[in-house]
Chain A
Amino acid sequence: GNSVTQMEGPVTLSEEAFLTINCTYTATGYPSLFWYVQYPGEGLQLLLKATKADDKGSNKGFEATYRKETTSFHLEKGSVQVSDSAVYFCALADTGRRALTFGSGTRLQVQP
């Protein structure tokens, strides 16, 4: 079956530090990959996506590249801000299946 594995949190960084949150996946088909972000007290918001191998998704300074050879979709940002503090979820949508498979989420705490 499908699965998504994310690095355990919380990740605590100082403002302007470089961020990497690792995500690897297992899927039977050719999935699309997503990063969602959940700010305190809110639902999930789509941050970025990639639909095929070697695609790079980007939004708000965050990037992730779909690596089929390593089955990974790591999230990166060059300089984090306090406002980036949230929980980040990696997810996949497998071909022909409507529902998403989510990772367990990684909490990011950015300190001023």
Chain B
Amino acid sequence: ETGVTQTPRHLVMGMTNKKSLKCEQHLGHNAMYWYKQSAKKPLELMFVYSLEERVENNSVPSRFSPECPNSSHLFLHLHTLQPEDSALYLCASSQASAGYNEQFFGPGTRLTVL
């Protein structure tokens, strides 16, 4: 596989469920990101990992818990979500450097919380 892959592509869960989203990048990058894309809103950055260390957390509720076990994998663990958490969750990766930051995105996981 090439690029950035995300699984599952679609997920429906109840508010009491626990689930995880998975992202894998095959580009040799050292930084990974989670974004939330809701209808009619700009993309919201959730978390940034650089060299497997979380370097940014944009006031995301604790019901979202990221994990980055190595530079190729990123997870988003979900528990006791709310219906307003329904959105497209996008993963991205980049080769962080002193210059510009070109990010490569996965296809996203469409999450519906009932």
Contacts of A103 on B, CB cut-off 8 Å?
Answer: 42
Contacts of A43 on B, CB cut-off 8 Å?
Answer: 4, 6, 90, 105-108
Does the CB pair A51–B107 fall under 8 Å?
A: no
Does the CB pair A32–B42 fall under 8 Å?
A: no
B82 interface residue (CB < 8 Å to A): no
Residue of A nearest to B44 (CB): A102
Residue of B nearest to A49 (CB): B102
How many residues of A sit at the interface, in one of the four size bands?
20 to 34
Residue of A nearest to B88 (CB): A43
Cα(A20)–Cα(B28), bound, Å: 35
Contacts of B107 on A, CB cut-off 8 Å?
Answer: 41-43
Q: Which of B40, B92, B99, B104 is the one whose CB lies under 8 Å from A51? A: B99
- Over the window 37-70 of chain A, the binary record of Cβ atoms lying under 8 Å from chain B Cβ atoms (1 yes, 0 no) is 0000111111001010000000000000000000
Residue of A nearest to B41 (CB): A104
Write the nearest CB–CB distance from A28 to chain B, whole angstroms. Answer: 15
Does the CB pair A98–B94 fall under 8 Å?
A: yes
Residue of B nearest to A42 (CB): B107
Which residues of A come within 8 Å of B, CB atoms? 4, 32, 34, 36, 41-46, 49, 51, 89, 93, 97-100, 102-105
7 nearest CB pairs, A to B: A32-B100, A43-B105, A93-B101, A44-B105, A43-B107, A102-B43, A104-B42
